[in-house]
């Protein structure tokens, strides 16, 4: 009888795990995981494949060259706060996020993200990671620009 109780308890626990997990198949996906710009900059559009779960912008993570870093590739990672970014909404309902050299414009229907990179006059490559969240994860991607 004792073994029967443990078996039933184990089956219940496994059922809880299976049904308690989020359905990641309904998470929105981004078409281009990495967008690259040459040093002159420009504008490109990244498409979001929407599914059942909505998504929202969370933050930007900047990757900067750091000659004093102890890591092999000499890159420092910095997550930006909302105060470090300019975030606004257009009359059409699009959300615009600007930081230093880059601007992201999320369409009102969240199906497209237009990325505009300014000319790179730093002499260093630069990159930034657009972090989006959904129920589990969102359509995040990285933008790189050559020196």
Taking only the tens of pLDDT, the chain with its 147 residues reads 444 445 555 554 554 544 455 556 788 999 999 999 999 999 999 999 998 889 999 999 998 776 666 666 666 789 999 999 999 999 999 999 999 999 999 999 999 999 999 999 998 899 999 999 998 789 999 999 998
Distinct helix (H) and strand (E) counts, the chain:
1, 11
Return the pLDDT at 25. 74
Return the pLDDT at 51. 87
CA 27 to mean position of chain CA atoms: 13
Specify whether the CB–CB gap between 99 and 87 falls below 8 A: no
Residue 78 forms beta bridges with which residues? 62
Six token digits for residue 79? 């997550």
Query: Quick check: helix, strand or coil at residue 93?
Result: coil
Give CATH for domain 25-145.
Answer: 2.60.40.10
| Global confidence as pTM | 0.80
Residue 97 forms beta bridges with which residues? 87, 104
The contacts of residue 92 (CB under 8 Å, 6+ apart) are 108
**Could you identify the residue written with the tokens 């129920």?**
135
Return the pLDDT at 111. 97
Specify whether the CB–CB gap between 63 and 126 falls below 8 A: yes
Task: Kindly tell me the burial class for residue 25, based on how many C-beta atoms sit within 10 Å of its own C-beta (0-12, 13-18, 19 or more).
Answer: exposed
Domain ranges of the chain: 25-145
φ, ψ for residue 143 (rounded to 5)? -115, 130
């Amino acid at each position: 009888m004792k073994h029967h109780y443990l078996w039933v308890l184990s089956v219940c626990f496994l059922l809880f795990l299976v049904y308690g997990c989020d359905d990641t198949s309904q998470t929105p996906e981004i078409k281009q995981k990495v967008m690259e710009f040459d040093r002159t900059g420009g504008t490109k559009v990244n498409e979001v494949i929407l599914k059942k779960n909505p998504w929202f912008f969370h933050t930007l993570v900047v990757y900067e060259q750091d000659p004093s870093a102890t890591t092999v590739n000499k890159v420092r990672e910095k997550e930006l706060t909302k105060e470090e970014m300019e975030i606004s909404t257009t009359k059409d309902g699009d959300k615009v996020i600007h930081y230093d050299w880059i601007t992201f414009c999320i369409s009102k229907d969240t199906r497209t993200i237009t990325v505009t990179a300014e000319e790179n006059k730093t002499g260093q490559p630069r990159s930034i990671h657009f972090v989006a969240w959904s129920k589990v994860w969102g359509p995040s991607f990285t933008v790189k620009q050559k020196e």
